[in-house]
Amino acid sequence: MTSEPLGVGTDGPVFLRDIWPAPDEIASSMAAAITQDQFEREYAHIWDGDERWMALPTPSGPVYAWDPASTYVQEPPFFREEEARPIEDIEGARVLVLVGDSITTDHISPAGSIKADSPAGRYLQEHGVHPGEFNSYGARRGNHEVMMRGTFANIRLRNELAPGTEGSWTAHLPSGEVLSIFDAAERYRDEGVPLAVLAGKEYGSGSSRDWAAKGPALLGVRFVIAESYERIHRSNLVGMGVLPLQYVAGTTAASLGLSGLETYAVRGLTGEVVPGQEVAVEALAEDGRFISFPATLRVDGAAELDYLRAGRVLNLVLADMLRP
């Protein structure tokens, strides 16, 4: 562009530098072509839209009218009273997912295409959506029914409760029946059983994804016990009312002899709770063996305690908005 001509004119080669306008020429042309009234005229109608936009039906009323038939946008259940649980001791919990180190938010959060035989795919087909029109989890992130069915559905997830499988599988306890993680969570919900996740180091690493915390919370996961957490994901768990517990230094699920088949309780959460306090975790194995160990409550500040006391951060924000 600097050494070869664009072409040959009557007076010889013509280079780009010969026709490139000078800065003052550009400024002069802009001043002559652009006027204030052009902006005023165009921006005065910026919200009008074109004919297609104006033809869209628009509901009226003080609040959004949720369409129960929509498979893209549904009213999320975060503000239902039964979904927002204040901080308290947990009894009779079962492990939904038992995983090792470096479980990322991509393993947890729904992403990518939706398989026809997956819980999300079956839900969409039951609601009249052909597999060719499934779209992706990202496109349907406004429908919690789709997203919670796709939580822990990564094809590379290896849940040690369902050995020999990859993807969204777990064992329902105590029956031992292998089900999709969503179907097992629904059965536990019907049985009134709270859920847990056992993990290794760097749980929630990788990109921060809100559904990596929302999804487990909607499945009924009340707490996670891990050796360490990614910083933002730990905070997101607290914001969704899921307790991040951390093994004390030198202990792991393996060193404690935990298989994930036990029934769990977390004690020390009733009454005055402080950031970073120690709680007692109790695990009762199928053979009657009783395992008790301390864990650190990774709630790292007073603001996060406020989230938990309100049930989750969304409920705290709503309460602040409604406060006179």
Q: Where are the domains of the chain?
A: 7-41, 90-109+151-322, 115-150
Per DSSP, 86 falls in state: P
Residues of the chain above pLDDT 70, percent:
98
Residue of higher predicted confidence among 24 and 320: 24
Check if the beta carbon of residue 313 is closer than 8 Å to that of residue 305. Answer: no
- In whole angstroms, give the CA distance from residue 159 to residue 260: 10
- Residue 294, helix vs strand vs coil: strand
Which pLDDT belongs to residue 323?
84
90-109+151-322 belongs to CATH 3.20.19.10: yes
pLDDT digits (tens, 9 = 90+) for 89-137: 999 999 999 999 999 999 999 998 999 999 999 999 999 999 999 999 9
Using one digit for the tens of pLDDT, what is the confidence trace for 193-238? 999 999 999 999 998 899 999 999 999 999 999 999 999 999 999 9
Selection from 231, 119, 138 nearest residue 184 by Cα: 119
- Torsion, CA 294, CA 284, CA 104, CA 161, rounded to 10: 160
Asked if residue 199 lies in contact with residue 245, where contact means CB atoms within 8 angstroms, the answer is no
Q: Are 267 and 279 in contact (CB under 8 A)?
A: yes
Of the chain, the percentage scoring pLDDT greater than 90 comes to 80
Tens digit of each residue's pLDDT (9 = 90 or more) over 50-83: 889 989 988 888 888 899 999 999 999 888 766 5
The letter for the amino acid at 80 is: R
